[in-house]
Amino acid sequence: MASHALTLDDRAYAEQRDIRLLGFLFFLISDSIFFGSLIFAYLYLRNAAPVWPPPGIERPDVYLAAVNSIVLFGSGVTMHVAMEGMRRDRRGQFVGFIVATIVLGTLFVSGQIYEYWHILPVTKWAATTFGASFYTLTGMHGFHVSVGVIFLITVLIQTLRGTYTKDRHFGLTAATLYWHFVDIIWVALFFLFYVY
Amino acid sequence: MDAHIIERIIALIGAIVVALFALKALREEWPKKNLDDHVTKIMMGLLTIGCLIVIIVAIGFAGRA
Amino acid sequence: MATIELAHPASHIHPAPEGFVRKYIFSLDHKVIAVQYFITSGLFFVLAGLLAELIRVQLMQPNNTVLDPATFNEAFSVHGSAMVWLVVIPILTGGFGNLIMPLQIGARDVAFPWLNMLSFWLFPPAGILLFGSFLLGAPQAGWTEYPPISVLASPGTSMWCAAIFLIGVSSTITGLNFLVTIIKMRAPGMTWTRMPLFVWASAVTAFLNFIATANLSISLAVLFIQRTFHVPFYDETRGGSPVLWQHMFWFYSHPAVYIMILPAFGIVSEIIPTMVRRPIFGYKAIAYSSVAIALVSFMVWAHHMFTSGLAQWIQLPFMIMTMIVAIPTGVKVFSWVASLWGGRIRFTSPLLFVLGFLSTFTFGGITGVMLASVPADVHEHGTYFIVAHLHYVLFGGSMFGVFAGLYYWWPKMTGRMLDERLGKIHFWLMFVAFNCTFLPMHWLGLLGMPRRVATYDPIYWHTNLFVSISAFVLGASMLLFAYNAIHSARYGKRAGPNPWGARTLEWMIPSPPPYYNFKELPVVLSGPYDYGKPLPYRDVDPDMIEAAAMPAY
């Protein structure tokens, strides 16, 4: 679609873009159902357990997770600024802030891996229902973030190649929405696992 | 324990900064009418709520170490 | 009326695909993809049907030894899984949805043709994985695969998980694709209330597809990781719960049964006005009741779990919601009957299958309301009463609907008519054999015969024998359709664009349609069922107008 987009006239492009946007939003909705299902499973298991966390498991460190959350939320803001840069035709702003987003996203995933390794070993995944729900959910989320980082790198490369313009950059719009989506899921997960 | 204090301070300051930027973005985007702009506004709002949760945790009102 | 915008996202005609592979194997054309779905589902229908016949052979005698119990378990598990996921859902959404929906809205293709092709190509590997599970030991816990059996037994269950996961991805993508198509790519002038009812059905089904199926994918993924990494989601010895699987599975699978019936409802809503040449009664009632069914379908799942130890205060609302969900369906049935009432009905093959549908599906719906009642369900759950109910709605409903649609749209798809006399014989044989097979199962169940058993108490013997023989006749009746289909390719009467004299857009183009569907995109001026009034399309070929006024059959 990328280079094809530049050949369409304005109205045809706008229609194509609307179609793709709707499709992408439906995809994000179905992805939310994905997470919703797992969250249901977590809440069900937690409710069924006589004591939570189960004996032998300590709750993960909430303060480290809080810092990690800020890293991710911050990346949401930098993503928005990058998008503004594209919309206002400021290449420098766009490239700078998308790189910042990629760095912050990678930092988040690293923070998760650090937590899995040092604070709450992954060997506990199969030990209890706590491990089961925690690792499956946060792991699924971490996977989504990693895919998002790859998506952003691809968008960056495409921009450097000149595929997107100030008015025609649907790939970037999709990447931004995806990134925000992943961010919001984390708001829910942080609350459900570290606060509640 | 020391590590916790540093983490809490970073989390608190970071959350305030990010929340302010998110609210600023929300205010700028407010008049826009496109579907993806509406979604962005919702996302920014929820992001702010996320920052609020982090602030509450960092101050110590919720969450366990 | 203001000027109607004529330009349209896909209003330009791109060049025709070249080469055998691009035209027939990796085709982006929704009509070719539809045929691919029909052929593949047809193959799995035969395989799953043979499994059913095998089951009936075993059940001809009370303590038969044709199949040992484990193999019997595998047979009914794969039969059910294949019929639900490899036959009914793909034929109705991938087959009819792909073939007819874009034509009926006046589009040149779906919103995302490449994703459409991907959706199809996920399907054969899924089927191979599912049937391939026999090599490792097919799943044995029924198509519902409750833990702990699904966790502990049968290595092939992991293949089953993977297979259904692939189908789930395929369904989700198709649902997304179709809903965007219907929302964004209707012909100018086609408002929601001027859409054919099959399109309404497709839209609602698409919505159910992409919302509910994601949930199934997660349930399967979790079962898979439980089996592989021993993570304790469904293991009650380590804090998990088998009831969790049931909740997660049925939250998808109940909407899934509506995915399996709504397109059939749409097909019936198309055939009736054509064969009576009258406007359909209650267009809006039928259209909006589909939406009501979809929404309520998410609120009834636990009626499959009334014997799983749920607290009584939970069971009651599900019982009430289940009874409520029957109401919009009843609205449809009354509307269809009212559409036929007092009309001059042309008893063509499609209409006969519609009548078969109406009788058997309504019957199945009634037994469904019986089952909605918790005390009745506690007695009937896990018995042949359920088997009877599900086959009346899925075979009597969906499959009769499928055959109605096949006879109706065969001329559009292939350019040839199916033989009417053979069609009528097929219908009567199938209808009688179907009722002889599944009606007795109601009383078998009420008398206490459990389902999913390879051997049974000899007091049920003669009824089972009768059922088995009827089932063999039912299977044989399908051969008539196969023969008809093959025979028509060479000897079938050539169909023009509109042999039935219908008024929806797919009948305004040649049979079979050219790859670009419409030379000029139509402009729609009113609804498609106003027989007696002029055709509601601007700039339509005069030949088409004549064909719509004077049906050949």
Mean pLDDT of all residues in C449-472: 96
Amino acid at C33: I
Residues of B in contact with A191 (CB under 8 A): 53
Evaluate if residue A158 carries a pLDDT over 50.
yes
Evaluate if residue A153 carries a pLDDT over 50.
yes
Mean pLDDT of all residues in C303-311: 94
The partner residue sitting opposite A26, judged by closest CB among C179, C217, C248, is C179
Phi, psi (deg, nearest 5) at residue A38: -65, -35
Q: pLDDT of C181-209, one tens digit each?
A: 999 999 999 999 999 999 999 999 999 99
Banded model confidence at residue A1, pLDDT cuts 50, 70, 90: very low
Evaluate if residue C3 carries a pLDDT over 50.
no
Chain C contact for A44 (CB, 8 A cutoff) = yes
CA distance A140 to C231: 15
Evaluate if residue C146 carries a pLDDT over 60.
yes
Beta bridge partners, C425, equal none
Banded model confidence at residue A163, pLDDT cuts 50, 70, 90: confident
Q: pLDDT of C149-175, one tens digit each?
A: 999 888 999 999 999 999 999 999 999
In chain A, which among 18-47 make CB contacts under 8 A with chain B?
A: 18, 21-22, 25
Q: Based on the structure, what is the number of domains in chain A?
A: 1
Binary contact (A67, B44; C-beta < 8 A): no
Q: Which residues contact C546 (CB under 8 A, 6 or more apart)?
A: none
Mean pLDDT of all residues in A46-74: 88
Chains that touch A (3 or more CB pairs under 8 A): B, C
Phi, psi (deg, nearest 5) at residue C523: -110, 130
* Distances from the Cα of C374 to the Cα of A2, A145, C297, C302, angstroms: 56, 45, 18, 11
Residues of A in contact with C211 (CB under 8 A): 29-30, 33
Residue (of C136, C310, C149, C151) closest to C220 by Cα position: C151
The rounded mean pLDDT for chain B is 89
CA distance C388 to C260: 17
Worst-scoring range by mean pLDDT, B30-44, C47-61, C380-394, C403-417? B30-44
Residues of A in contact with C111 (CB under 8 A): 19, 23
Binary contact (B53, A187; C-beta < 8 A): yes
Dihedral sign, Cα of residue C305, residue C308, residue C314, residue C317: positive
Evaluate if residue C335 carries a pLDDT over 70.
yes
3-state class percentages of chain A: helix first, strand second, coil last, to nearest 5:
80, 0, 20
What's the domain range around A151? 2-195
Q: pLDDT of A25-39, one tens digit each?
A: 999 999 999 999 999
The partner residue sitting opposite A23, judged by closest CB among C180, C222, C229, is C180
Q: Which long-range contacts (CB under 8 A, 24 or more apart) does C256-259 make?
A: C256/C84, C256/C89, C256/C208, C256/C212, C256/C213, C256/C216, C257/C297, C257/C393, C257/C394, C258/C205, C258/C208, C258/C293, C258/C294, C258/C297, C259/C89, C259/C92, C259/C93, C259/C171, C259/C205, C259/C208, C259/C209, C259/C212
Q: What is the pLDDT of residue A116?
A: 87
Q: Which of A18, A31, A32, A63 to mutate to test the interface with B (most CBs of B within 10 A)?
A: A63
Dihedral sign, Cα of residue A180, residue A182, residue A188, residue A190: negative
Amino acid at A71: V
CA distance A182 to C8: 34
Evaluate if residue C302 carries a pLDDT over 90.
yes
Residues of A in contact with C217 (CB under 8 A): 34
Banded model confidence at residue C1, pLDDT cuts 50, 70, 90: very low
Q: pLDDT of C384-411, one tens digit each?
A: 999 999 999 999 999 999 999 999 999 9
Binary contact (A129, C232; C-beta < 8 A): yes
CA distance A174 to B36: 9
Longest dimension (CA), chain B: 49
Phi, psi (deg, nearest 5) at residue C549: -85, -25
Banded model confidence at residue A167, pLDDT cuts 50, 70, 90: confident
Evaluate if residue C372 carries a pLDDT over 90.
yes
CA distance C452 to C69: 10
* Distances from the Cα of C250 to the Cα of A181, B15, C219, angstroms: 27, 40, 10
Evaluate if residue C550 carries a pLDDT over 80.
no
Evaluate if residue C415 carries a pLDDT over 60.
yes
Q: Which two tokens stand for residue C92?
A: 């109705």
Percent residues over pLDDT 90 in chain C: 87
Evaluate if residue A11 carries a pLDDT over 80.
yes
- Could you report the predicted ipTM of this complex, rounded to two decimals? 0.92
CA distance C471 to C67: 18
Chain B contact for A85 (CB, 8 A cutoff) = no
Residue whose token pair is 């929704």: C30
Mean pLDDT of all residues in B13-23: 94
Q: What is the CATH number of the domain that holds A164?
A: 1.20.120.80
- C31-549: CATH class: mainly alpha
